[in-house]
Amino acid sequence: MQNSTGDQTKQATLYRMVLPDHVCPFGLRARELLEQEGYDVDDRLLTSREETDAFKAEHGVPTTPQVFIDDERIGGADDLQQWLSRH
């Protein structure tokens, strides 16, 4: 995808848990890291324990958030920070 100046727009998909009584701080951190690096974030909220558990089972991961860039699963906030430092 290109932005208005013709540059490639960096895209990321973030799945993070946002429950009525809890917003995952690691999900917020991952979103902030992506935005600081200029990514357009498709922020997909998991709004129930059931939805979160189903997502984790589907992707074979133990935790959320999970970040995907170019159809590659990067992982959670710590994984993202390490990945960004190499790219």
CATH of domain 10-82: 3.40.30.10
Q: Could you report the per-residue pLDDT of 20-75, keeping only the tens digit for each? A: 999 999 999 999 999 999 999 999 999 999 999 999 999 999 999 999 999 899 99
- Which pLDDT score, from 0 to 100, does residue 6 have? 55
Dist CA 27 CA 52 (whole Å): 13
Q: Could you report the per-residue pLDDT of 1-24, keeping only the tens digit for each? A: 544 555 678 999 999 999 999 999
**Predicted structure pTM score:** 0.88
The domain locations on the chain are 10-82
- Which pLDDT score, from 0 to 100, does residue 31 have? 98
Dist CA 51 CA 80 (whole Å): 22
